[in-house]
Structure 1
Amino acid sequence: MKRLTTLFTLLFMSVALLAQDAVTPSPREIGDAYIEMIGGKDAWLAVKATTMQGTAGMGGMEFPMTITTAEGDKMRLSLDIQGSPMTQTYDGTTGYILFPMQGITEPKQMSEEEAADLANSPFLSEFIDSEARGFTLTAVEGKEIEGTPTYGVKVTNDEGYDRTYYFDTETMVPIMAEQVSQGGQMKGMIVESYMSDYQEVEDLMIPMYMEQKANGQTLMQMTFTEVKINPEVQDSMFILK
C-alpha cells in the first residue's frame, strides 16, 4: 500500500510539472521525489545499519562479497578472492585494510589520504535534511546515460564533499553518480558509479546492481542477492586489529 501511495504521489507530481510547461524541477524537488520514491524520509531515518551480500566482478572473475554499513558513516567490505580474504573497514574516522594478496598480511591502519573516499561516503543520503547537514544542492545539466535522459544535481559542502548525481527523469532515481577520487591509486580520477535493478526490500527501494568505471574502463561490477535492513552489528567489526 505504501509503495502504491508513493506511485500516486509521483504521478501527481509529474502531472503538476507538465502543467507548469514542463519546467525542470529544482534540485530540492528532485531530491524530495527521489527520497519519496525509495521509501520516504522517515523510513530511511529508521535505518541504522544494512548488510548487502552478493558478488563482485573484477577482471573477468567473480568473488563473494559482503558490505555492511552503519550510522556514523561506518563501513565494512569483505571479499573472498580465491580463498584469500580482502577486508576494508572504516569506523567513522579511521580506515583499515587487510589484503594478503598485496602483501598486507596484518591489519593496517590507512592514512587519511588512503581513506579519503571512505570518509566521503555518508551513510544517510545527502538528500535527507540536506541543508541542515551542510549540503548544498545545485542544478547541473543533465545528460543522456545509456539512452536515458536525466536531471543533474551536484551535492557539495564546505568540507570538500563534491558528487554529482544523474536522475532518470521518469523514475526520479539516480542511475549514475560521479566524483573525483580523493585518495589512493585512483586519486584525481573521475569515478562513475552506475546503479540499476532497483528492488523493494522492506518497503525501501535499493539498487541491486552497481558498476564503477574510470576513464571508460570498468573497475568493478557488484551484484547483490540479499539485503538485510537493521541487522545486529557491533562497533568492533569496523576496526581491524
Structure 2
Amino acid sequence: MKVLVAAIAFMSMSVMSFAQEMTADQVIDAYLEVSGGKEAWRELKGQRAVGEFTIQETSFPFEMWEMADGRSATVAEVMGMQFYQGCFDGENLWNTNQMTMKAELADSEETENKKRESQDFPNAYLDYNDKGHTIELIGKETVDGVECYKIMITKGTELVDGEEKPKVQYDYFDAETFAHLRSEMTMSSGPAAGTVITTTLSDYQEVDGLYFPFSIETSYGEMGSQTIELEEIELNPEVEDEIFAFPG
C-alpha cells in the first residue's frame, strides 16, 4: 500500500511539475493543435466572414475578407449605404470617408503598418519565428473565473509618428483547454493613445476542421465597446479582385 501511495504521489507531482514548467512554445503548440493543427492553418488561403457588429446599441451587417497574400476588406451596410473599411490590395490601404462617401487612401504610415500586419494571416503565432516575432510566457492569470496562461507576443515593430516602436500584445489561453480567450494591447497613436484595448473571444465553432470564435467583444476603456457576432465563415472563398482595389 505504501508503495502504491508513493507511486501515486510521484505521478501527481510529475503532472503538477509539467504543468508549472510549460514553456511559451508548449502553450502555443497546444493552442494551435486544439484549434485545428499547424498544417491545416498553413493550407488556409483565405476566409470570408459574414455577421453583425453592434456599437452603442446599434447593429449593422458586414462582410469581411482576409487572404493569405495580404489582401483584406470589410464592407458594412449602414442606413442602406455601403462603407468600405480597412481595404488593402497589397499596396494601397483605403476606406470610405463617412462624410463624402468617397474612397480615400490612408496615409503612408498606416499603409506600411498594414503591410506588416498582413503577414500574420491566418494567425500571428503560426510560424511566429519566421515572421520575426518573439513570445514569452508571463505566467498565469484568471480571466472571468478561468485560469489562463498569459503570453506576451512582440510582433516586430510598427511606425508611430515616424518612429519604430515594438508592437506588443498579451494573449490569454485557457490553462485546461488552451482555447484563446482574451487579447490585450495598447493603442499607440491618435487621440486615444495609451488606451488598453481588450478583446474577449467566445462561442468557438468548427469550420472545415478549424475553430473560430463566433463572438468577439472589444472594449476601448472609457470610449465604449463593440461586439461582433458572426453568422458564417467560409474558407478559401472565390473572390473578385475589385473588392480590394482602390477605386480612385
- Normalising by structure 1, we get a TM-score of 0.84
Q: SS in structure 2 opposite 1:39?
A: coil
Match for residue 210 of structure 1 among 203, 208, 216 = 216
Q: What residue number does 1:137 align with?
A: 135
Does residue 148 (structure 1) correspond to residue 146 (structure 2)? The answer is yes
Quote the offset at 1:19 in angstroms: 5.2
**Structure 2 CA distance for aligned equivalents of residues 94 and 221 of structure 1:** 28
1:217–1:167 distance in 2 versus 1, CA, 3 Å: farther
Quote the offset at 1:169 in angstroms: 1.1
Q: What residue number does 1:107 align with?
A: 103
1:33-64 superposed Cα distances (whole Å, 9 cap, x missing partner): 01101110111111111001010001101111
Work out whether residues 152 and 168 of structure 2, in 8 Å CA contact, stay in contact via their aligned partners in 1.
Answer: yes
**Structure 1 CA distance for aligned equivalents of residues 73 and 13 of structure 2:** 42
Does residue 46 (structure 1) correspond to residue 43 (structure 2)? The answer is yes
Does residue 91 (structure 1) correspond to residue 89 (structure 2)? The answer is yes
Quote the offset at 1:234 in angstroms: 3.6
Work out whether residues 49 and 233 of structure 1, in 8 Å CA contact, stay in contact via their aligned partners in 2.
Answer: no
Q: What residue number does 1:69 align with?
A: 66
1:142-194 superposed Cα distances (whole Å, 9 cap, x missing partner): 32222112111111143233211111111102111111224455444221111
Q: What residue number does 2:207 align with?
A: 201
Quote the offset at 1:112 in angstroms: 3.5
Q: What residue number does 1:233 align with?
A: 239
| Structure 1 unpaired stretches of 5+ | 1-14
| Structure 2 unpaired stretches of 5+ | 1-11, 158-165
Work out whether residues 65 and 80 of structure 1, in 8 Å CA contact, stay in contact via their aligned partners in 2.
Answer: yes
Q: SS in structure 2 opposite 1:211?
A: strand
Match for residue 37 of structure 1 among 34, 38, 44 = 34
- In structure 2, what residue type is equivalent to 1:175? L
Work out whether residues 139 and 154 of structure 1, in 8 Å CA contact, stay in contact via their aligned partners in 2.
Answer: yes
What RMSD in Å do the two structures reach over aligned CA positions? 2.3
**Structure 2 CA distance for aligned equivalents of residues 229 and 16 of structure 1:** 43
Quote the offset at 1:232 in angstroms: 0.9
Q: SS in structure 1 opposite 2:144?
A: coil
**Structure 2 CA distance for aligned equivalents of residues 175 and 68 of structure 1:** 23
**Structure 2 CA distance for aligned equivalents of residues 219 and 172 of structure 1:** 26
Quote the offset at 1:239 in angstroms: 2.3
- In structure 2, what residue type is equivalent to 1:103? M
Does residue 170 (structure 1) correspond to residue 176 (structure 2)? The answer is yes
Q: SS in structure 2 opposite 1:129?
A: coil
**Structure 2 CA distance for aligned equivalents of residues 20 and 200 of structure 1:** 32
Quote the offset at 1:240 in angstroms: 2.6
Work out whether residues 89 and 246 of structure 2, in 8 Å CA contact, stay in contact via their aligned partners in 1.
Answer: no
Number of aligned positions between the proteins: 225
Higher Cα radius of gyration:
2
Range with greater deviation from structure 2 (54-63 or 210-219): 210-219
Q: SS in structure 2 opposite 1:33?
A: helix
Q: What residue number does 2:79 align with?
A: 82
**Structure 2 CA distance for aligned equivalents of residues 167 and 95 of structure 1:** 32
Work out whether residues 32 and 127 of structure 1, in 8 Å CA contact, stay in contact via their aligned partners in 2.
Answer: no
Work out whether residues 92 and 246 of structure 2, in 8 Å CA contact, stay in contact via their aligned partners in 1.
Answer: no
Quote the offset at 1:68 in angstroms: 0.8
1:187–1:124 distance in 2 versus 1, CA, 3 Å: same
Does residue 224 (structure 1) correspond to residue 221 (structure 2)? The answer is no
1:27–1:17 distance in 2 versus 1, CA, 3 Å: farther
Work out whether residues 50 and 230 of structure 1, in 8 Å CA contact, stay in contact via their aligned partners in 2.
Answer: yes
Does residue 27 (structure 1) correspond to residue 27 (structure 2)? The answer is no
Q: SS in structure 2 opposite 1:67?
A: strand
Q: What residue number does 1:57 align with?
A: 54
- In structure 1, what residue type is equivalent to 2:148? T
Match for residue 186 of structure 2 among 166, 180, 185 = 180
